Amino acid sequence: MQNESHLEIYTFFYKTAPVIAGDLPYLPMMAGNALVQNSDLLGDDTGDTISEKNRYYSELTGIYWVWKNTQQDIVGSVHYRRFFSQKDEPLPYRIKRFFYYFAGLQKKRFGLIYTKNIALFKPRILTEDEILALLQTHDLILPQQRKLKYTVRRHYARYHNPSDLELIEAIINERCPDYLNALQQVLDGKRLYANNMFIMKRPDFDRCMSWLFDLLFEFERRIKLSDYQGYQERIMGFMAERLFNVWFAHENLRIKELPVIYFKHFKFEK
């Protein structure tokens, strides 16, 4: 088991890339380390692990490892190029955001700060002091909800197999029917917490993970993973995004939404 800290934000990688935030409380981790050769990062392939399923579960193999193998009081999930921020955007970025309205991009880019300027935005990544202050008055930190053109149900059907939602609804009806109202609320809405990013207090994290993986493992048992190819292969990660939203809606926790810095254009290391 890892040396424990009261607060750890895991930065999940799936391939070799620049480590933007490598200082505490951020801890870089290779999700799917069982499938990666010669990774120098902490891996999710020790102890209780599902690392070998990463092609289907994406960063969830890392999240599962954190749940089963650590005991921090506060735990978070971010990505190697997506980080929370509480600081105002620099003026040139605010001006660019103003013009999103005229380009029709205001919904697509709501809550996302696209940049390739690591030097400018690294100091704007959410700090430990900021996290602790926010969690004095909130239960968890999430990315600002994406604004969708369609309902979550229709949006999913446009990009994935709509029968997936029918199956997960049947499973929820069997295993935790008290979440059905929250499921319908999420699917009929046009907002979505995306990317499986969060910062939670441990008791909420443990409850959420127990609920989430129980549903995901049952969903996996009832589908044929080989039917999902290419982009669709990440089916469990896609399903988890929707399920996280259902859990948040049902639990009615105090949520602090923050913008996400998205380092979109840096080059991967070879």
Kindly give the pairing relationship between strand 260-263 and strand 42-43: unpaired
Q: How far apart are CA 47 and CA 248, in angstroms?
A: 28
Q: Residue 105 has which token pair?
A: 């991009």
Domain membership of residue 213 (yes or no) is: yes
Q: What are phi and psi of 244, to 5 degrees?
A: -55, -45
Q: Which residues of the chain have pLDDT under 70?
A: 1-5, 38, 97-109, 266-270
Domain membership of residue 42 (yes or no) is: yes
Q: Determine the pLDDT at residue 213.
A: 98
Q: Determine the pLDDT at residue 258.
A: 98
Q: Determine the pLDDT at residue 107.
A: 59
Domain membership of residue 110 (yes or no) is: no
The kind and range of the H/E element at 217 are helix 202-222
Domain total for the chain? 1
Domain membership of residue 91 (yes or no) is: no
Domain membership of residue 95 (yes or no) is: no
- Residue 161's domain comprises 7-84+122-263
Residue with tokens 């088991």: 1
pTM to 2 decimal places: 0.92
